[in-house]
Chain A
């Protein structure tokens, strides 16, 4: 069974880069808080979406629209209008997290294919089958918390296609279950579609070193010569019981390239590349490597091994310049 490569598109140039380099699907969002990458300068207006869909479809690729934040009663119509717009534009599927919105989509756009977003926090086949039975979800994106054996157990017990993250930034928390940014900055991934937002960030050179703050809270401090990373809240150094360290998560990124034969073997239907906030060059580079890897692996899984050149290319664009197998393999378990 073939496995789809699902690549991020923060804008039209990234979408074209993904398609040109062999993505089977690109995922994108509208220019507002209806999606979980609600960053300024990112996402699609009507004209760019129309052109993006035309471009993707003419090259045999699909376009998925993420509407994966949680609408509130007072802005409900904006989310339902986004569902209708996605359908009118002829996208291939929408990616949802809120069951109210799934219910709406199912009734208003019965021909529109629905995917369960990672923001839905569904980690078991019981949960995924719930979404299937109630809302006819065709595919589910798993949160980045399960081991490979646990992923396999999910696949075996649901008819829903399973998509997993293969590469990119790593949320250490269960997606859809993290209010850390809302607590510190008031910007909620669940409701506003952003985490540790740029407007709350301050970089400050001090006698102690470069300090990064989020809403005034010291997230990290870097010595001269240390590479100062973006102050994503969970990736800072903190003090716990008199030790100062990356108390929650080290700033690394996920790379599961070496697990590709196993992912295909257990029946994963799609690999997702994270990074709608990243550049078209990142998208082109990562898509190219993963396309080549998937094609090779589909030809001869038994003899598949990641090429050193691929890993070097991917490490170049990794956050923190290093990578991890994440939860799939649990060195920390």
Chain B
């Protein structure tokens, strides 16, 4: 089983991002997904900067995939998407059907991202016919759903599962971070950059519930399938989602898990989706 690092869902200063990926180059991960998938206003790294990072990681022996934005709204979003598709060097992860159209038209190989809503084998087979070489399971799908999908999966298609990190749960045209500061989205002052792991949203009885990350809403708990993944039939890539602190420890824990050793990490974890339960549940499993 390979380990991938998903696209960074948060917004960090340029130097922080460059330092993070310089460290990633030394980490035992096989695949790195790069790019801004959440908000088109986040501009610390330009397209060329991302390509520079991509080349450095490729030189370090990583497989690099450029991830597309999940919510396309404007013509400039489409321009950026076309540039991504035409990058000529790296595979692209398609996170909505517009990207699928462009990639299939050019007969390029591509990765079907987790927001494409693949819940059955028929849909997966269609995407494979359009050129998908790997697919990422929607996080809300369970292992039973996965088993069903994989029953008639084309042999050449790789399966990837989001296995560690705060779950991206919803996208909106609205920015909830800007809303917190009574700012308009178009003049948001890029407040996301002050919250490297998002803003915690609690209930009125102070229970951690969700995380606000610009236009994205995430789980407050960290989804953790490191115990489950080594036994997961048909999963070929385990995805870790970038976080501001302790990424090297998470990667090391994932490596240990794959080697059959203990994965003990301290944190507020959940794994419900995988077990067919509400996502925030933590189902105890043997380590």
Contact call A240/B100, Cβ cutoff below 8 A: no
Contact call A240/B202, Cβ cutoff below 8 A: yes
Measured between beta carbons, the chain B residues less than 8 angstroms from A146 are: 73, 173
State which of A73, A121, A185, A238 has its C-beta within 8 Å of the C-beta of B148: A73
Near B by CB (< 8 A), chain A positions 90-139 give: 97-101, 103-104, 120-127, 129-131, 133-134
Contact call A124/B172, Cβ cutoff below 8 A: no
Contact call B117/A176, Cβ cutoff below 8 A: yes
Measured between beta carbons, the chain B residues less than 8 angstroms from A308 are: none
Contact call A186/B201, Cβ cutoff below 8 A: no
The residue in chain B whose Cβ has the minimal distance to the Cβ of A188 is B140
Given A72-B145, A177-B171, the answer on whether A221 and B204 have CB atoms closer than 8 Å is yes
Shortest distance in angstroms between A63's beta carbon and chain B's nearest beta carbon?
26
Contact call A73/B172, Cβ cutoff below 8 A: no
Measured between beta carbons, the chain B residues less than 8 angstroms from A234 are: 170, 217
Measured between beta carbons, the chain A residues less than 8 angstroms from B207 are: 217-218
Measured between beta carbons, the chain A residues less than 8 angstroms from B180 are: 240-241, 243, 247
Measured between beta carbons, the chain A residues less than 8 angstroms from B212 are: 240, 247
The residue in chain A whose Cβ has the minimal distance to the Cβ of B82 is A126
Interface size on A, residues (CB 8 A): 69
Q: Which of A8-16, A263-271, A272-280, A325-333 contacts B (4 or more CB under 8 A)?
A: A325-333
State which of A126, A127, A172 has its C-beta within 8 Å of the C-beta of B174: A172
The residue in chain A whose Cβ has the minimal distance to the Cβ of B180 is A240
Measured between beta carbons, the chain B residues less than 8 angstroms from A247 are: 176, 179-180, 201, 212
Given A70-B120, A99-B126, A173-B172, the answer on whether A126 and B278 have CB atoms closer than 8 Å is no
Measured between beta carbons, the chain A residues less than 8 angstroms from B219 are: 183
Give Cα A59 to B39, complex, Å: 47
Contact call B173/A327, Cβ cutoff below 8 A: yes
Contact call B78/A124, Cβ cutoff below 8 A: yes
Measured between beta carbons, the chain A residues less than 8 angstroms from B279 are: 179, 182-184, 186
Contact call A173/B171, Cβ cutoff below 8 A: yes
Contact call B186/A239, Cβ cutoff below 8 A: no
Shortest distance in angstroms between B184's beta carbon and chain A's nearest beta carbon?
5
Contact call B145/A73, Cβ cutoff below 8 A: yes
State which of B120, B172, B202 has its C-beta within 8 Å of the C-beta of A76: B120
Given A174-B173, A183-B278, A332-B184, the answer on whether A127 and B119 have CB atoms closer than 8 Å is no
Contact call A174/B101, Cβ cutoff below 8 A: no
B16 interfacial by beta-carbon distance below 8 Å? no
Measured between beta carbons, the chain A residues less than 8 angstroms from B200 are: 240-241
Residues of A near any B CB (own CB < 8 A): 70-74, 76, 97-101, 103-104, 120-127, 129-131, 133-134, 145-147, 150, 153, 172-174, 176-180, 182-186, 188, 190-191, 215, 217-221, 234, 236-241, 243-244, 247-249, 327, 330, 332-333
Q: List 30 interface pairs A-B (beta carbons < 8 Å), by A numbering.
A: A70-B120, A71-B120, A73-B152, A74-B144, A98-B119, A98-B120, A100-B123, A104-B122, A122-B98, A124-B77, A126-B78, A126-B81, A127-B97, A150-B74, A153-B75, A173-B217, A182-B278, A182-B279, A183-B278, A186-B276, A191-B119, A217-B203, A234-B170, A236-B203, A239-B203, A240-B201, A240-B202, A248-B179, A327-B173, A333-B186
Residues of B near any A CB (own CB < 8 A): 70-75, 77-78, 81, 96-102, 115, 117, 119-127, 138-140, 144-145, 148-149, 151-152, 167, 169-174, 176, 178-180, 184-186, 199-207, 209-210, 212, 217, 219, 272-273, 276-280
